Structure 1
Amino acid sequence: MLRKVDCVMVRVDDLEAGVAFYTGTLGLSEIWRDETSAGLAMPETDAEIVLHTTDLEYEVHYLVDDVRAALKTWRHTVRKAPFEIAIGWCAVLEDPFGNPICILDMTKGQR
């Protein structure tokens, strides 16, 4: 079901300052941006660090082929039913220990 870690969400108070730090100090490359977030590429992987200024509950997002299809085989708690995002669909599952598992797909394509 899970293919890889797709992105790690990092909260920043100032998007411009966050992008400047992560690109200038840590050497990441900005690959997209919207009003509240920016995607940064890491070398030698296609996983992204996503800087954001909003309050989000989940930091790690796992990529699946199709969120709605994945839910058909999920036998545990679904915290949040599938909802649309810019690149496809997202849902929040729960493991047997109460931890969130945020999954997303890219059925609408990359940014």
Structure 2
Amino acid sequence: MLRKIDCVMLRVPDLNAGVAFYVDSMGLQELWRDETSVGLGFPETDAELVLHTLHLPPDCPVHYLVDDAREAAATWPGRVRTPPFEIEVGWCAILEDPFTNPIAILDLTKGSRPGQVDVSGLG
């Protein structure tokens, strides 16, 4: 079900300050940007660091790619913390494992953002 780590999401109070730190100090590259988020790329993986100003649950910064988040949530044998909701690139949901750890999943059913590699048809 889990295909790969898609992104790690970190909340920052200011996108420009966050980009300045992670690009200038950590060597990441800006891939895309919208009003509330910026995707940064690592040199050796297609996983992204997404800086955002949204009010998302702080306990699930890692988001895993799945083929279909709605189907995955519907067939999940455990608790679904947050039912599937639409996002820019597809659908997202937050599941819970038997140990109460959150598992954030997303799909790319609407396609990837510019700069992202679309792997939704692979595998």
Larger strand proportion of the pair: 1
**Residue segments in structure 1 that go unaligned for 5+ positions in a row:** none
Match of 2:30 in 1: 30
Give TM-score scaled by structure 1 length: 0.95
Amino acid at match of 2:61: E
| In 1: Cα distance, 2:52 partner to 2:74 partner | 31
| In 1: Cα distance, 2:109 partner to 2:24 partner | 32
Match of 2:105 in 1: 103
1:27 deviation in Å? 0.7
Amino acid at match of 1:108: K
| In 1: Cα distance, 2:10 partner to 2:89 partner | 19
1:72 deviation in Å? 3.6
Match of 1:91 in 2: 93
Amino acid at match of 2:24: G
Give TM-score scaled by structure 2 length: 0.86
Match of 1:62 in 2: 64
**Residue segments in structure 2 that go unaligned for 5+ positions in a row:** 114-123
Work out the number of aligned pairs and report it.
Answer: 111
1:95 deviation in Å? 0.6
Q: Which runs of 4+ in 1 moved over 4 A?
A: none
| In 1: Cα distance, 2:25 partner to 2:47 partner | 19
Q: Secondary structure at the match of 2:9?
A: strand
Match of 1:76 in 2: 78
- CA RMSD in angstroms, aligned pairs only: 1.0
